[in-house]
Structure 1
Amino acid sequence: MRARGKGAVRKDGTRGDLLVTVEVSVPKDLSGRARDALEAYREATAGEDPRAELFEAAKGA
């Protein structure tokens, strides 16, 4: 991902872009307890869009 204007300061005083790499590790096998926890989280957040707040935060940053 690229965060425009959030990188290091250049010699001319302007800011460069910050390049971000996100690595996500997803387990292939879950224990029963872990599966129950994920199921409970899914039910608790049903109908919510986690991306909605990200776009608003990005506009304000």
Structure 2
Amino acid sequence: MTEPKDLCGRCAAMLQEGYDLKRVGGGVDHKVTCSHCGRRRYGAAYTIEKHSKSKA
């Protein structure tokens, strides 16, 4: 497991296609500086893991 990264909503939606994103905490989005694009937008903290190749 990796440490949580702050992602904006747009980057989280884009990264969701290639990675398993799990939202840390809960509730409402808050202002974060996105780790991916560097912009200050509404978002949350996520843990990022690669998709597994085999699905059971």
Larger relative contact order (CA 8 Å, sep ≥ 6): 2
**TM-score for the superposition, normalised by structure 1:** 0.24
**TM-score for the superposition, normalised by structure 2:** 0.25
Q: Whose strand fraction is larger, Structure 1's or Structure 2's?
A: 2
- Rg larger for: 1
